């Protein structure tokens, strides 16, 4: 291969793409979306519905009602001798939010059920509030059957809320508090970025090859350079574009978040309204533990290693998949023809995204280890493990396998590219691709 010619192609690909208006617009606007993704959830957690909600409670047990105390948002009105049907047609007209019907049998049922009626979807926080009151009433009623003296005092004395704190010994023997939620969030962000950038810029290589092929520009270029030089120049040129865009996004996003936090005095943390997802739950765990614990955990993470691994796995993962995307583009005349080849190529990438969910919770499991060695999933899985701490030999072996696989894939992709880039008007099959890969010259 002629390195000088490859450099010229890299420069052409890089300058052509960074001068496009679409590149400039996306590069400048994306940091604002990323910053809003980081800041808005914290702001939303502090926003509460200021409107009062009046709820009718029909308690046939007379045991649950005393436990449903009014709050800043909820006003409970207790009724007797009525049924939910009495409010069915005029619930909204009376300014009521919902009707809670508590059957007398719930005190004797193993799994008591309570029904809440409304004309709209019930807030999960209200469901939880009612459920806790019912559970407490049922427990108290069942305990009374045992005729235990001073039951209330005994319950107050034995009721305990334990707090489990994890401590980590450093190599120097120091003891620091650690929060696994911090590791999980960093791993999730790194793994997701790897997936997003590989898929986005790998697809860009494929579309670029198809565009040049359909416009017949490649016929002019191929007369001056070898097909493998053209393919590598295109792949590396777009890699430079990706690294530039990645660096700008990270720098500008962190700057925007820092400025917003400075203006607002920091984004307060809190419970996310509604059903808590995995990210929301991790944020709640962190907020409960306090800032000191978070900073203590961050001091345990080897950020230079995390950043270095992020760059290495992005580059090698991108080069691996971009080579396959380039081969697919060369064998197709349009985006529709690529569909038959896309699934086998993108399936490991998508599978790696799902396997990350397991790795967040079990970074040292056998499945996580082997998936971090398999080159088609290792960019996502290993990045999900690095923050937790990975033995150097595992990291080195994973990178070595990924590099070797990339070299082998480039070799076979170049064979497909060499034949397919000048073939028009024919729908290629997998059998023909296999035949192209076995060509000696």
Q: What is the pLDDT of residues 211-224, one digit of tens each?
A: 777 777 766 777 67
Q: How many CB atoms lie within 10 A of CB 190?
A: 25
Which distant-in-sequence residues (6+ apart) come within 8 Å of 281 by Cβ? none
Element holding 101 (H helix, E strand)? strand 98-102
Quick one: which of 96, 91, 138, 88 has its CA closest to 113?
138
pLDDT cut 70: percent of the chain above it: 80
pLDDT in tens, 286-312: 444 445 555 555 555 667 788 888 888
Sign of the Cα torsion 342, 348, 349, 351 reads positive
Distance (Å) of CA 260 to CA 32, 267, 271, 279: 11, 8, 20, 21
Q: Give the pLDDT confidence score for residue 277 in this predicted structure.
A: 41
Q: Average pLDDT in the 369-381 region?
A: 91
Beta strands 74-79 and 53-59, pairing class: parallel
User: From the centroid of its chain, how far is CA 324?
Assistant: 25
Give the CA-trace dihedral at 307, 308, 313, 315, to 10 degrees: 100
- Cα distances from 174 to residues 61, 205, 296, 366, in angstroms, run 57, 49, 12, 29
Mean pLDDT computed over 204-208: 83
Q: What is the mean pLDDT of residues 231-260?
A: 83
pLDDT at residue 169, rounded to an integer:
63
Q: Are 235 and 243 in contact (CB under 8 A)?
A: no
User: Which tokens belong to 239?
Assistant: 């890699």
Q: Name which residue leads in pLDDT, 105 or 59.
A: 59
Sign for the CA dihedral angle at 359, 361, 364, 367 comes to negative
The whole-number average pLDDT for the span 14-29 is: 87
Cβ atoms 416, 388 nearer than 8 A? no
The pLDDT score that the predictor gives to residue 274 is 36
Question: What is the token pair recorded at 261?
Answer: 């936090």
Taking residues 424-429, report their average pLDDT: 73
Average predicted confidence (pLDDT) for the chain: 77
Which two structure tokens, joined as six digits, stand for 350? 């998508």
Of residues 116 and 183, more confidently modeled:
116
The token pair at 250 is 């990270």
Name the H helices within 290-429.
291-300, 303-330, 339-361, 366-371, 378-386, 392-420
pLDDT value of residue 182: 66
d(CA 321, CA 428): 20
- Predicted pLDDT at 373: 92
pLDDT band for 275, please (50, 70, 90 cuts).
Answer: very low
Q: Are 235 and 322 in contact (CB under 8 A)?
A: yes
Per-residue pLDDT reduced to its tens digit, 253-268: 778 877 876 775 544 4
Choose the weakest-confidence range: 98-107, 177-186, 373-382, 423-432: 177-186
pLDDT band at 270 (very low <50, low <70, confident <90, very high): very low
pLDDT of residue 403: 92
The residue-averaged pLDDT of 362-381 equals 89
Note whether 324 and 201 are within 8 A (CB).
no
Q: Which has more pLDDT, 115 or 433?
A: 115
What is the average per-residue pLDDT within 358-384?
88
pLDDT-derived band at 374, boundaries 50, 70, 90: very high
């Amino acid at each position: 291969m002629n390195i000088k010619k490859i450099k010229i192609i890299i420069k052409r690909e890089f300058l052509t793409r960074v001068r496009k208006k679409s590149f400039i617009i996306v590069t400048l606007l994306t940091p604002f979306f990323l910053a809003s993704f980081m800041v808005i959830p914290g702001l939303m957690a502090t926003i509460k519905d200021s409107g009062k909600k009046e709820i009718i409670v029909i308690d046939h047990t007379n045991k649950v009602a005393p436990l449903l105390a009014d709050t800043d948002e909820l006003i409970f009105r207790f009724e007797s001798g009525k049924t939910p049907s009495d409010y069915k047609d005029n619930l909204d007209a009376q300014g009521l939010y919902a009707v809670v019907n508590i059957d007398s049998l719930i005190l004797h049922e193993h799994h008591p059920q309570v029904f809440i009626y409304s004309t709209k979807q019930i807030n999960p926080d209200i469901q939880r509030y009612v459920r806790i009151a019912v559970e407490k009433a049922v427990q108290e009623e069942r305990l009374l059957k045992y005729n235990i003296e001073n039951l209330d005092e005994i319950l107050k004395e034995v009721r305990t809320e334990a707090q489990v704190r994890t401590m980590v010994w450093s190599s120097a023997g120091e003891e620091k508090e650690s929060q696994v939620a911090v590791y999980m969030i960093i791993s999730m962000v790194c793994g997701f970025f790897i997936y997003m950038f590989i898929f986005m810029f790998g697809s860009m290589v494929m579309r670029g090859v198809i565009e040049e092929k359909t416009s017949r520009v490649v016929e002019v270029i191929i007369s001056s350079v070898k097909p493998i030089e053209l393919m590598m120049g295109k792949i590396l040129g777009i890699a430079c574009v990706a690294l530039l865009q990645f660096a700008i996004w990270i720098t500008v996003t962190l700057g925007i978040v820092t400025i917003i936090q400075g203006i607002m005095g920091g984004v307060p943390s809190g419970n996310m309204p509604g059903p808590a997802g995995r990210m929301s739950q991790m944020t709640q765990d962190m907020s409960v533990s306090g800032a000191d614990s978070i900073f203590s955990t961050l001091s345990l993470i080897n950020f230079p290693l995390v950043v270095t691994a992020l760059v290495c796995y992005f580059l090698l993962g991108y080069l691996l998949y971009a080579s396959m995307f380039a081969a697919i583009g060369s064998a197709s005349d349009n985006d529709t023809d690529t569909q038959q080849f896309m699934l086998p190529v993108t399936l490991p990438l998508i599978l790696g995204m799902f396997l990350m969910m397991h790795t967040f919770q079990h970074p040292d499991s056998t499945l996580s280890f082997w998936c971090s060695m398999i080159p088609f999933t290792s960019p996502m899985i290993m990045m999900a493990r690095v923050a937790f701490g990975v033995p150097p030999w595992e990291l080195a072996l994973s990178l070595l396998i990924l590099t070797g696989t990339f070299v082998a894939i480039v070799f076979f992709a170049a064979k497909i590219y060499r034949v397919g880039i000048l073939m028009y008007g024919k729908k290629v099959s997998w059998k023909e691709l296999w035949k192209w890969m076995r060509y000696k010259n």
